[in-house]
Structure 1
Amino acid sequence: MKKFFVTGLLIFSALNVIGQAKNQIKFTAKIANRNSDTLVIQGKDFKKVIPINKKEVFVASFDAPKGFYVFSDGIESSRLYLKPNSVVNLTMNAKEFDETIVYKGKGVDESNFLAQQSLRNEKLEEGFSKGSDEFAVLFEAKKKADVESLEKGSFDPEFVTAMQSNFERFNQYASQEYERVSKAKKMVGKSSPDFDFENHKGGKTKLSDLKGKYVYIDLWATWCGPCRAEIPYLQKIEEKYHGKNIEFVSISVDALKDHDKWQKFVTDKQLGGIQLFSDNEWKSDFVTSYEVNGIPRFILIDPTGNVVSSDAARPSSPELQMQLDSILN
């Protein structure tokens, strides 16, 4: 499960190279239920694409400076830390991405720390739905666990310094994110902001045009990997509830320069539902009203135009079908 912490705030550290000297890294990965036949390891001015071999293992040797990196299967991603002459053996199950990452070998303690920290981050995000007092308790426990875990380990000194700075940035961001989520929750039951966006089929479409039906909105972009990963699930949802009292609306927040790319993508992929193009990317009034700072983002509106959920379940989540079954059947 990929959360905002890796894709948003903490990506900065993954692109920070600490050392300048290049040292050979031996890397292998065995991934169950893989999403792709290639893995990509990326850092500042560095990119290594690793194809799967005939034994269904990702194997590569490469030179890379010491520092933070991201590995990605094209759908999800996670951070790792490479040190001189490391031997990195990764195992995981892509269906439980962060939860199953384990590194063995030489020079992998820092990478295992990052994997465990990601889980702590995700657990805190789950607390965003809690009241302020309960969240404060969870937040303090999270901060304490981060510090204690860092102090107990035998980590590279430069890694420790970088993570201490990382913690400060994370804590500030998490506080802001909790406030954003709290404000979004207050929109539930209230009239949704309207939009008036270009329709892929021609003309424009307003949210108010769809009153009388539930509206499930997908905020996405052609460049967004997690957004594209949800498309097959959304298509199945659209098929299942075809003819029901619901409209499925996808709103692209692509830049204006990518308008033609959006049009071609929708056509080539034969995307269903109502396909719209935001009038001002992330800065459109509709998007900012919901304080969207990451995509994909899903919103559910009732037939009167009121907000049912300002941060609805994804198409890939069984929770969405349960909710739609309860209101449409």
Structure 2
Amino acid sequence: MRKFIWLLAIVTIVSCNNNTKNKDYVTIKGTLKTPNVSKLTIQGKGLLKEINVNKDGTFSDTLKVTKGIHLLSANNEKETIFLDNGYNLNLNFRGEKFSDGVDYTGVGAETNNYLTKKKSFYMSDLGNPRTYFKLDKNDFDAKIAEAEAKLKSYKETEKNVDSLIQKMDARNDQMFFNYINTNYQKMHESLVNLAEGKESPVFDNYENYDGSKTSLKDLRGKYVYIDVWATWCAPCKAEIPYLKELEKDYHNKNIQFVSISVDKENAHDTWLKMVKEKELRGIQLFAKNNFESKFIQEYGINSIPRFILIDPKGKIVDADAPRPSSKTVRDLLNNLK
């Protein structure tokens, strides 16, 4: 849901008409921290251009654009940026990865910094409907108020946001909160059944990459951190490096890492190949009936990746555990008894 809202905003904004200001071109510049990049590619409606990157990481160029969201990419790194003729933007990359974020200064900075904050919101726990659905009514109301206050603070901080963004953004926020309020009662009741301390749904005799069969009961006596994923899922694959790091750091702890693929049967060989090529660790399992598997359905999983934490007695610790890339996952694992 949160990704849908964010992508809807981008698609809508890209389709808008050109709006020329005092200058009929955009100036963008900055310094890349990503190593070994000689060119940036910028793509938008009617625009596809390469920008040279100097050896020290600096770049600068002028462009004529159609007002809207553009895609800035280098190698496998990507970042969205809102451009309009008349902008004079400086991009301050926070780290080597584009996903570390970008801070903007100059003309057009407020609109882009606002979009950066909104993207961060929708990719955070506050942008995840399950964050709200698992709460009782009083806490639910308080969490909604917290989210609305945060979004309001963005608007108060970035006051000169492009009117087009403001209009589209208001619609997206309304859709998000309408979805949460409309579905709260039904989803809350479902999540109560998967609350901490409840008996976990189980899987039986799932195919193990090593050729054996594995059931959840085989893992009793250890905490079990489950990753539900698929070979076609880009966000799932983005978590792999972080998952490997977790597995390495907690190798000698009383916790077993399990990855369950929900690929369809015709992708079975693709699963085997990816496990081998990416040197995936932990216990690698293949669900019997992908999303129709009893275990998957009983956990109400309809989007991936999804992470689950189960205790040594087979009881639920967290039915929607933090991702390996999150800042809270190690706090969770470190506090296990």
TM range (shorter): 0.7 to 0.9
Counterpart mapping for 1:1-329 below 5 A: 5=2, 7-16=3-12, 17-20=14-17, 25-30=26-31, 34=34, 37=37, 52-57=53-58, 59=60, 62=63, 64-69=65-70, 79-94=80-95, 101-121=102-122, 122=124, 124-125=126-127, 128=132, 131-140=136-145, 142-143=147-148, 146=151, 153-175=159-181, 180=187, 183-184=190-191, 186-187=193-194, 188-196=196-204, 197-242=206-251, 244-317=253-326, 319-327=328-336
Letter in 2 for 1:57: T
- Kindly tell me: are residues 140 and 234 of structure 1, through their superposed partners in 2, closer, same or farther at Cα, counting changes over 3 Å? closer
Greater CA drift, 8-17 or 124-133: 124-133
Q: For 1:19 and 1:99, how far apart are their aligned partners in 2? A: 28
Contact 2:6 2:119 in 1 (8 A): no
Offset at residue 261 of structure 1 (A)? 2.5
SS of the equivalent of 1:114 reads: helix
Q: 1:314 to 1:172 in 2, by over 3 A?
A: same
Displacement of 1:217? 0.6
Which deviates more from structure 2 when the two are superposed, residues 68-77 or residues 239-248?
68-77
The 3-state SS of whatever aligns with 1:89 is strand
**Are the aligned partners of 1:254 and 1:262 in contact in 2 as well (CA < 8 Å)?**
yes
1:89 deviation in Å?
1.9
**Contact 1:9–1:173 (Cα < 8 Å) also in 2:** no
Q: Residue 193 of structure 1 aligns to a residue in which SS?
A: coil
Q: Is the 8 A contact 1:86 1:106 kept in 2?
A: yes
Does the aligned pair in 2 maintain the 1:74–1:225 contact within 8 Å? no
TM-score (norm 2): 0.74
Distance in 2 of aligned mates of 1:41 and 1:172: 35
- Which of 118-127 and 308-317 deviates more? 118-127
Q: Quick one: structure 1 residues 183 and 162, their matched pair in 2 at CA, closer, same or farther if it must change by over 3 Å?
A: same
Question: Offset at 1:67?
Answer: 2.1
Q: Is there any run of 5+ residues in structure 2 with no aligned partner, and where?
A: none
Q: TM-score, normalised by structure 1?
A: 0.75
AA matched with 1:159? I
What is the aligned-residue identity percentage? 35
Distance across 2 between alignment mates of 1:172 and 1:36:
45
More strand by share: 1
AA partner of residue 93 (structure 1): R
Is the contact made by 1:71 and 1:79 (CA closer than 8 Å) also made in structure 2?
yes
* Distance across 2 between alignment mates of 1:203 and 1:255: 19
Partner Cα distance (2:203, 2:306) in 1: 16
3-state SS of 1:201 partner: coil
Alpha-carbon deviation of 1:249? 0.6
Letter of the aligned partner of 1:195 in structure 2? F
User: In 1, distance between residues paired with 2:165 and 2:171?
Assistant: 10
Unaligned runs of 5+ in 1: none
Question: CA contact under 8 A between 2:117 and 2:154: conserved in structure 1?
Answer: no
- Cα deviation for residue 40 of structure 1 reads 6.7
Q: Distance in 2 between matches of 1:36 and 1:291?
A: 43
